[in-house]
Every structure is written in C-alpha cells, then in structure tokens.
Amino acid sequence: MKKTSLKVSALALLALAASCGQPGYNGQLIGDQTRMNYRAPYPIGMVYVPSGTFKMGASDEDIRGRNEASIHTVQMVGFYMDATEISNQEYRQYTNYVRDSIANTILGNFKDLPDGTQRLDMKHINWKDPELQDQLASMFVPAELSGWGIKQLDASKLRYRYSVFDYKSAVLHPMESQLKYRLTFDEFAYPDTTVWMKQFNYSYNEPIALQYFWFPGFNKYPVVGVNWKQCKAFCDWRTNSWRSEREKTKQYFEGSFRLPSEAEWEWAARGGRNEAPYPWGGPYIINKKGCYLANFKPQRGNYSADGGLYTVPVDKYAANDYGLKNMSGNVSEWTSSQFTSGNYNQQADINPMVEHDVQPGDKDKPYLFRKVVRGGSWRDVSYYLQVGTRDYEYQDTSKAYIGFRCVYTEEVPALSNRRPMK
C-alpha cells in the first residue's frame, strides 16, 4: 500500500511540474472549474410547490364554468410561493422603503462609487425630528390644508419608479433596438384605504377605513386596496431588495419575485388534489365539527358564521397539502394572466402563461385591461372558492377584497420532490 501511494504522489508531482506549477486538466473532461458551487436560495416565508401534472379547469359539477375553462392537462415546473397572502405589515416594509428613499433623495444622501457614478445612500430618517420635517416639507400636507388640522405625510407623494427589460419581446424581435424594450414604470406605493368607503355605500365603515392599513391590530391581515400595477411594483422592489443583499456576500441570484400565472395559482391551490373542487379537497366547505374551512359569504349572507365579518389574519384556517393558507377565501388574489374566455385554447401545455402589457393604443379596448383574479374572498359565495373558478378585475382598479401573494421560480428546475430547506 505504501509503495502504491508513493507512485501516485510521484506521478502527481510530475504532472504539476509539466504544467509549470499550475493545476491543469491533464487532458481530461472535468468541466469548468472557475465557478463557485451553487446552492439555490430559499426565500423566507415561502413554501415549495413541486413540479407535476394536473387537470386544469372547472370541475365536472361546474357546468357553467366548463364552457369557459375546459379541463385540460398541464405540466408545471416547481416554484416557490408565499405561504400566506401579503400582509399589511409586510407591505408597510415596502411603503417605508419608498418613503425613506424619497426623503434621502431630497436630502441629497448619495454615495460616490469607484466608476464615477453615484448611488443613493439609505440613511435612517427620524420622522419625528422637527428640523428634518422642515427639510422634507414637500412630502407633507400642511396642517392648514389637512382635514384633520395637523401636518400629515402626503401618501400621494409615495411613488415607486422602476425599470424592467422585456426579455421575451426582445427575443421575438431581435432586429430591433433592445432599448425599445427597456420599460419604465412609476406607480403609487400606498394602498387605497378609501376602498372600504367607496365600495360599500350606506354602510358605516369609517373605523376600518381609517385603521386597516396602519393600526398594529391589523398587522397580519391581508393588504387590500392595491391594484395589479402596484402589486407588480412591489414584486420588483422585493426582487431588488433581496438581490442587493445577496450581492453584498458574493452570492448568486437568479429569477425574480412576481405574480403567479393563472396556471401556477391553480396548481398551487389544489395542493396535489388533482380534481378536487377546493384546496382542502371537498366536496364540503365545513369539517366534521361543523366549522367552516374558509372565510367567505356563507348561509346567504351570514358573513360572521365562518369567524370573520371582513378579512381575517393571513395565517388563519388550515393550510393545504403544500402548506399554503387561504388559497380560497379571505381575499381574492391577483395573477399575472390576461383574462379572456379563450385563454385555455391559446396557452401551452407546459407552464402556460397568457399575458398582455397594456400599450398606449389599448385605451379604447377595455377588455385588454382585465386580469385574472382567483380564490374568492370574504364577500363571495362558495362558488368562487373553487380552485377552478375564474374571475377578473381591471388592472388599474383596487378593491377591499383583492390582495396578492408572490411566487419565485428558480432558473435551475428543482426535483419534483424537493422541499424547503430548514
């Protein structure tokens, strides 16, 4: 054994000498050795929805729905999805960032970079400091102009500007300038808290309208009053926030946070129960103890019978078999998909996605503004809780019963049996 080891060592030294002291491939195919080992990131708060195949569309009992959403087989690549709907507390992290970034811009807090450019330096803002409030006067509504008689932060000034590259369009039109597909958006960050008043006439909803988004008692309730475009902006912020932190530690980052497609949403909501009508299976909406399994409008309008008069915290009710909560009920959820009756006849069988980014010339075509919403809400009857039921809303409108959650797709497809790392 010792002689063999000595011979191997001698050969290794000869190989090293032949390569002038530098490690070499010795003519062998061993792959590119210049890249670090890769380990996919695990987003906190998300669960992994595995790859698989399912029957997409309305159930056999839904005769009306089958005319619009015919059953067909779809193959899905695995992805991560938020275990719960985005809560008020989570969304405030975004609005606080927008608020502070605008303040730092006004105060001129920039950092010089080695390449001669500048980057915004996000310094802590003490919003109770009177001197800082004077410097940031343009962000406030003066007391004499405020309906409450006190100086308040002007929520209309909180706008998030971002740019994205429309990679798909650039690929389909390779002869055109790629700058054409660099799109810039400027969206309101703050949710429309007046939806509780505007959508329910002759109803006393002032307390919930005034408190729902900011009061700590509603921290874990789903954010509402956000339109489709605002949700897209939130996804961009979330992507850049996580990417910047990973870049600091020289870690890879791939993919992005985004709204789920209609197919992704349904595949996740089913939780592996291929042809069941609800995330928990079915066909009933109550368990053996007589308790309702979701927050919706039961018994022809007895809203409180299920435990929630309006929305409930995002972590209430049992999760489906993938670990996702409130996929049916509580609030309906935006998807990225365009809504048309013929969607299912146009889409592919693998990772289907039918999307349309509204263009200036589309203003006279209202149907192009329709986006698919799924899952039903606290104000809907049980029909809309079914995982195969489709509904829509216009992308520039916000409602007191529509929220959202994000998905994240790895560029390297995971195995179908993968589970989140602990």
Percent above pLDDT 70 for the chain: 86
Distance CA 390, CA 256 (A): 26
**Position 413 in a domain:** yes
pLDDT band at 415 (very low <50, low <70, confident <90, very high): very low
Query: How far apart, in Å, are the Cα atoms of 370 and each of 298, 323, 339?
Result: 27, 29, 5
Distance CA 220, CA 218 (A): 6
Residues 149-175 pLDDT 10s: 888 999 999 999 999 888 888 888 888
pLDDT band at 328 (very low <50, low <70, confident <90, very high): very high
Please give the pLDDT value at position 36: 64
Q: Which residue type sits at 267?
A: W
Distance CA 404, CA 337 (A): 13
**Position 174 in a domain:** no
**Mean pLDDT lowest for which of 43-57, 60-74, 165-179?**
60-74
Q: Is the pLDDT score of 421 beyond 70?
A: no
Determine the straight-line distance between the first and last CA of the chain, rounded to whole angstroms. Answer: 43
More confident residue, 66 or 162: 162
Q: Which residue type sits at 53?
A: T
Residue 191 makes CB contacts below 8 A (sequence gap 6+) with 91, 213, 223, 224, 225, 226, 230, 398
Distance CA 408, CA 257 (A): 5
Please give the pLDDT value at position 25: 74
Q: Is the pLDDT score of 78 beyond 70?
A: yes
Q: Are strands 182-188 and 159-165 parallel, antiparallel or unpaired?
A: antiparallel
Backbone dihedral region for residue 209 (phi beyond 0: left; psi -120 to 50: alpha; all else: beta) = alpha
pLDDT band at 31 (very low <50, low <70, confident <90, very high): confident
Q: Is the pLDDT score of 231 beyond 60?
A: yes
Please give the pLDDT value at position 291: 92
At residue 77, φ and ψ (nearest 5 deg) are: -90, 140
**Position 274 in a domain:** yes
Please give the pLDDT value at position 116: 82
Q: How far, in whole angstroms, is CA 32 from its chain's centroid?
A: 35
Please give the pLDDT value at position 419: 44
**Position 104 in a domain:** no
Please give the pLDDT value at position 220: 97
Please give the pLDDT value at position 62: 62
Read off the pLDDT of each residue in 215-242 and give the average, rounded to a whole number. Answer: 96
**Mean pLDDT lowest for which of 40-44, 178-182, 201-205, 238-242?**
40-44
Question: 0.75 exceeded by the pTM?
Answer: yes
**Position 309 in a domain:** yes
Read off the pLDDT of each residue in 45-71 and give the average, rounded to a whole number. Answer: 78
Q: Is the pLDDT score of 24 beyond 70?
A: no
Q: Is the pLDDT score of 34 beyond 50?
A: yes
**Position 196 in a domain:** no
Q: What is the mean pLDDT of the chain?
A: 86
- Percent helix, strand and coil across the chain, each rounded to 5? 30, 15, 55
Read off the pLDDT of each residue in 349-374 and give the average, rounded to a whole number. Answer: 84
Percent above pLDDT 90 for the chain: 56
Residues 368-405 pLDDT 10s: 899 999 999 999 999 999 999 999 999 999 999 999 99
Question: What secondary structure does DSSP assign to 45-81, as a single string?
Answer: TEEEE--EEEEES--TT-HHHHTTS--EEEEE--EEE
**Position 13 in a domain:** no
> From the CA atom positions of the chain, what is the Rg in Å?
26
pLDDT band at 19 (very low <50, low <70, confident <90, very high): very low
Q: What counts of helices (H) and strands (E) characterise the chain?
A: 10, 16
More confident residue, 63 or 193: 193
Distance CA 371, CA 392 (A): 5
Question: Which tokens is 247 given?
Answer: 């870049």
Task: Give the count of domains, the chain.
Answer: 1
More confident residue, 182 or 96: 96
| CATH code: domain of residue 69 | 3.90.1580.10
Please give the pLDDT value at position 67: 63
**Position 131 in a domain:** no
Read off the pLDDT of each residue in 81-103 and give the average, rounded to a whole number. Answer: 97
Question: Which tokens is 170 given?
Answer: 């650039």
* Residue 352 lies in domain: 42-83+261-422
Q: Is the pLDDT score of 414 beyond 60?
A: no
Distance CA 304, CA 202 (A): 19
